[in-house]
């Protein structure tokens, strides 16, 4: 089976390809693609939550705890009337501790290594959890994040199966077939996972919009807060990006440092004298069939 570094490298590579494809083909913002890469990298480590060994997974559960705490903060903020700050704080702390210290212990007691955690139903469960609880109003964005977790999770299963094949000895390892599967040796864990998958699928179908590919969320460049002190920007570097008055249009010409911006050209106005818009006349084009003499051209000297 693959180790920690191989799994995260393989999942991150597939996540980068997935993020670039979503930006180039689907037209989603690159910021969404970067988050999808992060989720794919984390998804590549999710199947090993049932592993009793591995010091690296301690940091992984800490990252999951932070992400879970942020999601809980977002969900609690949607309660009406909005709760006080202390409720937000204790909800975040409780979620972090539950994921950081409780999730792995529960997985160790409920499942076994290479059990139901290494299966396709669990992959679908994690993907639907991200799709249902990702804090975005855009359905394509939520779908993209759920698919990113599924890609990272499946990359872990695929790499375990690849590492179970001994190409030199031309034989299969005893662990072959224990990663990509639809059920586990324990019938109770299999039924529990399929029950959770059925409930999440039913919830996702109820939330599925009529126009699933409609994307109305746009990301604009953030403005510098008005009450914040603006950082000092050297004049030799040009206009400051933190100064709203120094921002230029995309097609506006650049000017040197210290040079005042020229006044906008209003264009020709009626009654401005010669060169005004009233002095323009249509071109005197020849009528069809009418021939006019050409203008005389200068004689060119011909070398002997």
Q: What angle do CA 162, 46, 65 make, to 5 degrees?
A: 160
Hey, what are 179's tokens?
């990663």
Q: How many CB atoms lie within 10 A of CB 224?
A: 13
What does the pLDDT look like over 33-51, one tens digit per residue? 889 999 999 888 888 777 6
Least confident of 138-142, 226-230, 285-289, 296-300: 296-300
Is the N-terminal amide bond of 81 cis, ω within 30° of 0? yes
User: Distance (Å, rounded) from C-alpha 47 to C-alpha 157?
Assistant: 8
Least confident of 72-86, 120-134, 150-164, 254-268: 254-268
More confident residue, 269 or 30: 30
Average model confidence (pLDDT) for the chain? 75
Mean pLDDT over 159-181 rounds to 66
More confident residue, 53 or 130: 130
pLDDT at 130 over 60: yes
Percent of the chain's residues with pLDDT above 70: 61
Pure H helices in 164-249: 187-207
Mean pLDDT over 215-234 rounds to 65
């Amino acid at each position: 089976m693959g180790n920690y570094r191989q799994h995260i490298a393989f999942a991150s590579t597939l996540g980068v390809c997935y993020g670039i494809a979503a930006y180039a083909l689907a037209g989603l913002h690159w910021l969404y693609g970067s988050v999808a890469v992060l989720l794919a990298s984390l998804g590549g480590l999710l199947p090993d939550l049932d592993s009793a060994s591995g010091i690296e997974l301690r940091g992984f559960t800490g990252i999951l705890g932070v992400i879970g705490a942020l999601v809980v903060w977002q969900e609690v903020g949607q309660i009406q009337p909005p709760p006080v700050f202390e409720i937000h704080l204790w909800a975040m702390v409780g979620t972090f501790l539950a994921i950081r210290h409780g999730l792995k212990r529960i997985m160790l007691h409920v499942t076994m290594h290479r059990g139901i955690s290494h299966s396709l139903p669990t992959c679908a469960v994690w993907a639907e959890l991200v799709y249902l609880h990702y804090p975005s109003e855009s359905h394509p964005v939520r779908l993209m994040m759920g698919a990113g977790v599924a890609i990272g999770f499946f990359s872990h299963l695929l790499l375990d199966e690849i590492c179970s094949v001994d190409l030199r000895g031309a034989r299969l390892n005893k662990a072959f077939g224990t990663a990509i599967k639809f059920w586990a040796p324990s019938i109770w864990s299999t039924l529990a996972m399929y029950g959770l998958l059925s409930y999440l699928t039913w919830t996702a179908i109820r939330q599925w919009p009529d126009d699933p590919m409609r994307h109305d969320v746009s990301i604009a460049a953030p403005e510098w807060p008005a009450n914040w002190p603006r950082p000092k920007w050297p004049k030799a570097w040009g206009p400051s990006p933190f100064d709203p008055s120094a921002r230029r249009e995309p097609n506006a010409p650049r000017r040197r440092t210290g040079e005042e911006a020229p006044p906008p050209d209003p264009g020709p106005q009626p009654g401005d004298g010669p060169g005004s818009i009233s002095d323009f006349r249509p071109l005197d084009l020849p009528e069809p069939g009418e021939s006019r003499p050409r203008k005389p051209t200068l004689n060119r000297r011909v070398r002997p």
